[in-house]
Structure 1
């Protein structure tokens, strides 16, 4: 017998898709219950009373019937936050879509992950306020790697654990090599110190502690190249939202 309860919850609308003639399936990232799919009856009808509550990327407090497994049902919204700049800007929209897709891919449904909910909520606010969405997406990419089963050592040499010598990234070694051990990987990344610095910071920093983001374009290119390589070679994740961002970059 399926367990179900009527509950108040915090949620972020991840995506929605049309279902049947007048309905929609809406996936919420909830703080209390993890990712849940909701069946919204009549969502496509004109004048639907909860239309604003199920717009993509809306954050709010909701009341609904929560099932342990299977579809849930939305009863009411109590408080909504809309992110106008994200909704109006294709770049911000693309990066938030990608971040939520990463979370959706990394975790199973129905798994409570409040730390990641709070990170996603902070990302929405920060990107809406104008923080660099690319760098914020890199924070998620780097910090989600262990969830995908890819353990990288960013802070010290994987061989001797020293962090007082110049470091460089080695894919074959699973992290950083200090200068004394560079000879172990002739194919190491040959990253500059600035890029190493940002890899170390972004892989460990808490979003809510960031007050500003200023990263040089050349450093952003190196970060993107390395992280893309890790996701292609070691995670094996290919998301349409990431492909769209890469296509969008080519416009520039």
Structure 2
């Protein structure tokens, strides 16, 4: 069967001497594995279509299993995301996270739009850490693990200061801290950003100026949420951590 889809390359691997196999996050057909013949050849007309983060229109044949690319047109190459080390690290993390959280043939229209907006925001020079934390919140929400941030998960109190219990899946007020003594205190700035992220579509992200100390706190609490709620071991995140140590 011939498929024609909009897709984003979220994974690309060599296959044989001259081919690549890409995993596309498609707008309508879920994830799709596609063989791109000759993609490793310098003069191949399909080589750019097999590059990570490429957004394009892909036409491929597939009866079952792996598809084979017939034709494609690039809509947005995201060249800078591959050329700049820090942006490549953030984009790789977003792509790997998306790949690991989604099952094959799972409906993906909203996931597709969110990843597309995430890569565009990175390409446009928006703060990559803020972009990625917003994307992480979108992933948590889409997976059904968004934290409760409006009221204490134990007693319903809406008056802070609060702690974030990643294990409990939300905030705890001062009276209920014994429910999770290890839960970190949320500063006002980090708490406001978490609430903003929970309800914000990636496509609506503007420029946000965040203090360095607030960004560090945000990173800590988002890591807790991602590790406890999803528990994924991602190579791209390990690389991001190594990159942070060099800065």
Structure 2 length as normaliser, TM-score?
0.91
1:130 to 103, 125, 128: 125
- Determine the structure 1 residue equivalent to 2:235: 240
Kindly indicate whether the alpha-carbon contact (under 8 Å) linking 2:54 and 2:74 is maintained by their aligned counterparts in 1: no
Does residue 31 (structure 1) correspond to residue 19 (structure 2)? The answer is no
Classify the secondary structure of the residue corresponding to 2:225. helix
Classify the secondary structure of the residue corresponding to 1:250. helix
- Determine the structure 2 residue equivalent to 1:219: 214
Counterpart Cα distance in 2 of 1:70 and 1:172: 38
Any residues of structure 2 matched to 1:43-62 within 5 Å, and which? 43-62=39-58
Classify the secondary structure of the residue corresponding to 1:214. coil
Any residues of structure 2 matched to 1:1-252 within 5 Å, and which? 5-67=1-63, 69-146=64-141, 150=145, 152-252=147-247
Name structure 2 gaps, 5 residues minimum: none
Please report the RMSD computed on the Cα atoms of aligned residues, expressed in angstroms.
2.0
Q: Shift of the alpha carbon at 1:164?
A: 4.1
Kindly indicate whether the alpha-carbon contact (under 8 Å) linking 1:95 and 1:137 is maintained by their aligned counterparts in 2: yes
Counterpart Cα distance in 2 of 1:217 and 1:229: 19
Q: Shift of the alpha carbon at 1:18?
A: 1.0
Q: Shift of the alpha carbon at 1:79?
A: 4.2
Counterpart Cα distance in 2 of 1:229 and 1:148: 16
Moved more, 150-159 or 69-78: 150-159
CA-to-partner distance for each residue in 1:68-100, whole Å, 9 max, x for gaps?
x41011111234311232122111111011001
Classify the secondary structure of the residue corresponding to 1:64. strand
Moved more, 155-164 or 17-26: 155-164
Q: Shift of the alpha carbon at 1:183?
A: 4.6
CA-to-partner distance for each residue in 1:102-144, whole Å, 9 max, x for gaps?
1111111222211010011111111101011111111222232
Classify the secondary structure of the residue corresponding to 2:149. strand
Kindly indicate whether the alpha-carbon contact (under 8 Å) linking 1:156 and 1:167 is maintained by their aligned counterparts in 2: no
Classify the secondary structure of the residue corresponding to 1:145. helix
Counterpart Cα distance in 1 of 2:172 and 2:227: 21
Counterpart Cα distance in 2 of 1:187 and 1:8: 50
Counterpart Cα distance in 1 of 2:206 and 2:145: 29
